[in-house]
Amino acid sequence: MSTQHQKVRVRIAPSPTGYLHLGTARTAVYNYLYAKHNHGRFVFRLEDTDEERSNDAYTQDIIKYLKWLGINWDEGPDIGGSYGPYRQTQKEEHYRKLANELVASKKAYFCYATQDELAKLKEDQQNSGLPSRYDNRGRFVSEKQAQEYEAEGRIPCIRLIVEEPRVVSWNDLIKGPISINTQDLGGDPVLVKSSGMAVYNFAVVVDDLDMEITDVIRGEDHIHNTAKQILIYEALGKECPRFAHAALIFDAEKQKLSKRKHGEFVHISKYEKDGYLPQALFNYLTQMSFTMSNGQEIFTQEEAIEAFDLAKVSKSPAIFDLTKLNWFNNHYLRALPANDFENLAKPYLKDLSLDKYEGPKINQMLNLIKDGLNNLSEIKEQLTYFEPKPIDLNQSEIRPILDTDSARKILRLMLENVDKFKNLDSPAAKALIDEIGLSNGFKKNKELYMPIRVALTGRLHGPDLSKIITILSGSGLVQERLENALNLTLQIKS
């Protein structure tokens, strides 16, 4: 194949009929890695032939989030390139011209069948238990009949003549050999709609030819399209690129990820908003169906480029596993330099009333919980007890810890010494708690620490107690909460 001597050129060709989707992103990742691995070019093109559903807001979203993921293209509608235009709607004339040439060379024909006729055909076929397909009737329309249809005002579409039966096959770079009989393709496929716009399968082939695409890497939902497209390449007298079809991404019920069923969970923007790092998502998407030979799972984009190999991409579908994504994201969050983490985390504090804290204390809070985060949107829930609001101590898990003589004693002792905690760093605060406890017969155990933790946070679990006190000190909240807890447990006693 001559393509083997050419420089690799691949593309991602989304249609702007929805926000950037996990499946599209994964396909983009594969194409990008393949291009970079082979020192080739990566092209971004818009397949906007569906004028009904296309929307510029979707285009902007797709571009934004592909870039967010760290995927950059060498040519595209936004940056241009020497193989443009990169939007199909700008190539309408071009497609039509090529289709007309196919008609002139008797490889295609005008088909005057109406939507109603086709619907009737389909219905009849279904009623008689036959597979529904176009019956190629338009091939045999006489010149005279055609003129009559024209006179009637019918506007034809253009269909490709497909030889049947015949086997179309290719060696898929992911799946291996695939063969499809032309009889199963549904009849002569439309090339140009009666609206004058090229149909997806035709526009794709023309574009891939125009852009000298050497490798087409896409989802396996395109396998039958590939057979049709190979036929179009042939009719055009051109050689095909190589094809690779990746298995789809499923949900936990093994259903294809879809906007309809999964809503915003398939949108990349959802993950950005929830506080997932692009490197985590990129890493997860890459390793989901691809394993490095040494088994390494955490890797940089550079390492992925170096190792990527389509032959090692799994043939079977993978279930999108949020838990595993969380693991990756936790890893990358922890790996972030403190400054970067703080800057990324700040926006997630906006729904918390933390005005009374100074910048350094805010940063301390964030670093307190950094190691346990799956994503940034978990920050809010984990820091609520720093807000100057009352704490609910009557929860069934919490209350019994306060209602003991020993708890009342330590709370009272802490209150007596509360001023001493001001301006202490956390090791000093820890030493002071221990000193207060030990000199009053406590041991360094739950009995000493848990009532304090519960009084201050209303929770059984959380970061280091002395660090919490350090941040809370100076706000007046330590004293207020110790008093509240003590009063509560004294009330119930009397």
Partner RNA sequence: GCCCCCAUCGUCUAGAGGCCUAGGACACCUCCCUUUCACGGAGGCGGCAGGGGUUCGAAUCCCCUUGGGGGUACCA
**Subset of residues 68 to 107 that bind RNA, contact rule: CB under 7 A:** none
Phi/psi-derived region of residue 231, left when phi > 0, alpha when psi is between -120 and 50, beta in every other case:
alpha
Could you tell me how far CA 307 lies from the centroid of its own chain?
22
d(CA 132, CA 135): 9
Q: Which of 82, 445, 491, 494 binds RNA (CB under 7 A)?
A: 445
221 is a contact residue toward RNA (CB under 7 A)? yes
User: Is 446 strand, coil or helix?
Assistant: helix
Stretch in the footprint of RNA (CB under 7 A) among 77-85, 271-279, 359-367, 463-471: 463-471
Q: Which of 35, 99, 103, 111 binds RNA (CB under 7 A)?
A: 111
Q: Which of 47, 207, 208, 342 binds RNA (CB under 7 A)?
A: 47
466 is a contact residue toward RNA (CB under 7 A)? yes
Residue whose CB is less far from RNA, 340 or 358: 340
259 is a contact residue toward RNA (CB under 7 A)? no
254 is a contact residue toward RNA (CB under 7 A)? yes
Stretch 151-190 residues interacting with RNA (CB under 7 A): 156-157, 175-181, 184, 186, 190
Residue whose CB is less far from RNA, 284 or 358: 284
363 is a contact residue toward RNA (CB under 7 A)? no
Shortest reach from residue 429's CB to RNA, in Å: 9
CB 262 within 8 A of CB 253: no
Residue whose CB is less far from RNA, 50 or 387: 50
Shortest reach from residue 159's CB to RNA, in Å: 8
Residue whose CB is less far from RNA, 69 or 190: 190
48 is a contact residue toward RNA (CB under 7 A)? yes
Stretch 11-30 residues interacting with RNA (CB under 7 A): 14-15, 17
Which residues are within 8 A (CB) of 389 and not within 5 positions of it... i.e. 6 or more apart?
353
Give rounded-to-5 percent helix, strand, coil for the chain.
Answer: 55, 10, 35
Residue whose CB is less far from RNA, 184 or 264: 184
39 is a contact residue toward RNA (CB under 7 A)? no
Q: How do strand 190-192 and strand 157-160 relate by DSSP bridges?
A: antiparallel
Stretch 412-441 residues interacting with RNA (CB under 7 A): 430
Selection from 332, 372, 353, 351 nearest residue 463 by Cα: 372
Give the active site residue among 64, 259, 270, 324: 259
CB 281 within 8 A of CB 325: yes
385 is a contact residue toward RNA (CB under 7 A)? no
Selection from 280, 303, 308, 492 nearest residue 400 by Cα: 492
CB 447 within 8 A of CB 413: no
Shortest reach from residue 134's CB to RNA, in Å: 5
Residue 259 designated active-site: yes
d(CA 220, CA 41): 23
256 is a contact residue toward RNA (CB under 7 A)? yes
Count, residues near RNA per rule CB under 7 A? 89
Residue whose CB is less far from RNA, 155 or 492: 155
Give the Cβ contact number of residue 364 at 10 Å. 18
Give the Cβ contact number of residue 81 at 10 Å. 17
Cis previous bond, 463, omega within 30: no
Q: Which of 199, 236, 376, 436 binds RNA (CB under 7 A)?
A: 199
277 to 316: interface string for RNA, x by CB under 7 A: ----------xxx-x-x-x-x-------------xx-xxx
Residue whose CB is less far from RNA, 242 or 430: 430
136 is a contact residue toward RNA (CB under 7 A)? no
Residue matched to tokens 């939902």: 221
Which residues are within 8 A (CB) of 217 and not within 5 positions of it... i.e. 6 or more apart?
10, 27, 30, 31, 34, 173, 243, 244, 246, 310
Positions marked active-site: 259
